[in-house]
């Protein structure tokens, strides 16, 4: 429960620059639950003698602007507020009960799986919330379609879609990431890393970037692979390098989107500049060969 409260407080801090949020009522803590319970979140809002109004969310739209790269996203939930209260976090699609009636302003925040973990769901700080005005009637359903996109304050340290090149330089191993056009998420090219007995290891490194400490930092990427690979940080400070591989990405037979939360790690490493690292080493006990495909890699912060 303490971890849940901590996530909620952090979320309020992350979006506080955009809008002052009301105090979170105790019921809010019950809404930040593992995926197996999110679908039943509405049960906490039934109060004897009151008939709720309902808001139905089946779909949403998402767009990216100039200089923001692909509009690829993996929004799984909405975090819902009205003008005074936190209503709850809900997996989509969902019919949400609300103990309100009449003209009501709703604030919807896009939720994701943090680090690709279904049990750790958070509102993504770089997507702006949508504000909707609805007329709620007890016992009736209002269907809404929120619109999301990147906040104007989002800083894109790099966007690599592999259409014109590959910013990940070869940093180790006996193979490299190559641009190819056969297995592409979108556009004309993506990157591929091929591993076999003759070329069994790869390490790639981005250029160095200054990243803010004590604020959200995420790496977004689309990937498809039949072998695990790793993502890490290389922090440099006064000529000293610290390699930190934290994120282990499991095989996916289809293109997947993942959001890697690096904010705490950037703060803990206390580097002056940071590189993004990619690494894969063929597990010869289980694989004869492997293929890893990457697209739309973005490093974002405020």
Tens digits of residue pLDDT in 183-199: 999 999 999 999 999 99
Whether the predicted pLDDT of 235 surpasses 50: yes
Identify the pLDDT of residue 39: 42
Whether the predicted pLDDT of 162 surpasses 60: yes
**Mean pLDDT, rounded, for 244-272:** 98
Whether the predicted pLDDT of 153 surpasses 60: yes
Residue 45 binned pLDDT confidence (cut-offs 50, 70, 90): very low
Identify the pLDDT of residue 50: 87
More confident: 102 or 45: 102
Paired residues of 127 in beta bridges? 150
Identify the pLDDT of residue 42: 42
Identify the pLDDT of residue 48: 61
Whether the predicted pLDDT of 14 surpasses 80: no
Q: What is the dihedral of CA 6, 270, 223, 69, to 10 degrees?
A: 90
Identify the pLDDT of residue 22: 33
3-class DSSP assignment, residue 42:
helix
Identify the pLDDT of residue 17: 38
pTM: 0.86
Backbone Cα Rg of the chain: 21
Lowest mean pLDDT among 41-50, 78-87, 130-139: 41-50
Lowest mean pLDDT among 16-25, 35-44, 171-180: 16-25
Residue 131 binned pLDDT confidence (cut-offs 50, 70, 90): very high
**Mean pLDDT, rounded, for 113-128:** 98
- What is the residue-averaged pLDDT of the chain? 88
The CA distance from 296 to 191, in Å, is: 10
The CA distance from 183 to 33, in Å, is: 36
Q: What percentage of the chain has pLDDT greater than the value 90?
A: 83
Q: What percentage of the chain has pLDDT greater than the value 70?
A: 84
Give the tens place of pLDDT for each residue, 62-89: 999 999 999 999 999 999 999 999 999 9
Whether the predicted pLDDT of 138 surpasses 50: yes
Whether the predicted pLDDT of 16 surpasses 70: no
The CA distance from 176 to 94, in Å, is: 44
Residues 6+ apart with CB under 8 A from 3: none
Whether the predicted pLDDT of 287 surpasses 80: yes
| Domain 155-301 bears CATH identifier 3.40.50.920 | no
Residue 47 binned pLDDT confidence (cut-offs 50, 70, 90): low
Q: What is the dihedral of CA 205, 208, 213, 219, to 10 degrees?
A: -40
Identify the pLDDT of residue 27: 31
Whether the predicted pLDDT of 169 surpasses 70: yes
**Mean pLDDT, rounded, for 246-268:** 98
Lowest mean pLDDT among 15-24, 68-77, 105-114, 137-146: 15-24
Residues 6+ apart with CB under 8 A from 10: none
Beta 61-63 vs 147-149: how paired, if at all? parallel
Is residue 152 within 8 Å of residue 167, measured between CB atoms?
Answer: no
**Domain residue extents for the chain:** 2-149, 155-301
């Amino acid at each position: 429960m303490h971890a849940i409260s901590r996530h909620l407080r952090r979320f309020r801090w992350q979006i506080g620059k955009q809008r002052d949020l009301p105090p979170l009522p105790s019921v809010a803590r019950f809404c930040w639950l593992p995926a197996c319970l999110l679908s039943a979140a509405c049960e906490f809002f039934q109060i004897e003698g009151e008939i709720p109004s309902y808001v139905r969310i089946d779909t949403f739209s998402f767009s990216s602007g100039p200089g923001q790269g692909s509009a690829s996203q993996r929004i799984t939930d909405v975090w819902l507020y009205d003008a005074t209260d936190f209503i709850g976090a809900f997996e989509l699609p969902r019919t949400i009960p609300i103990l309100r009636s009449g003209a009501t302003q709703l604030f919807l925040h896009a939720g994701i799986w943090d680090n690709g973990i279904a049990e750790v769901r958070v509102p993504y700080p770089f997507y702006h919330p949508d504000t909707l005005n609805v007329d709620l009637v007890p016992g009736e359903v209002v269907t809404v379609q929120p619109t999301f996109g990147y906040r104007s304050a989002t800083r894109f340290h790099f966007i690599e879609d592999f259409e014109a090149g590959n910013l990940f330089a070869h940093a180790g191993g006996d193979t490299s990431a190559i641009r190819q056009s056969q297995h592409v998420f979108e556009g004309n090219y993506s990157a591929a890393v091929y591993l076999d007995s003759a070329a069994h290891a790869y390490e790639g490194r981005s250029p160095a970037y200054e990243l803010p400490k004590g604020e959200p930092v995420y790496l977004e990427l689309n990937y498809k692979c039949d072998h695990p690979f790793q993502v890490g940080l290389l922090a440099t400070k006064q000529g000293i390098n610290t390699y930190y591989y934290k994120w282990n990405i499991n095989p996916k037979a289809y293109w997947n989107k993942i959001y890697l939360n690096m904010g705490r790690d950037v703060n803990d490493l206390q580097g002056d500049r940071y590189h993004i690292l990619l690494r894969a080493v063929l597990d010869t006990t289980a694989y004869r060969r492997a293929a890893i495909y990457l697209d739309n890699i973005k490093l974002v912060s405020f």
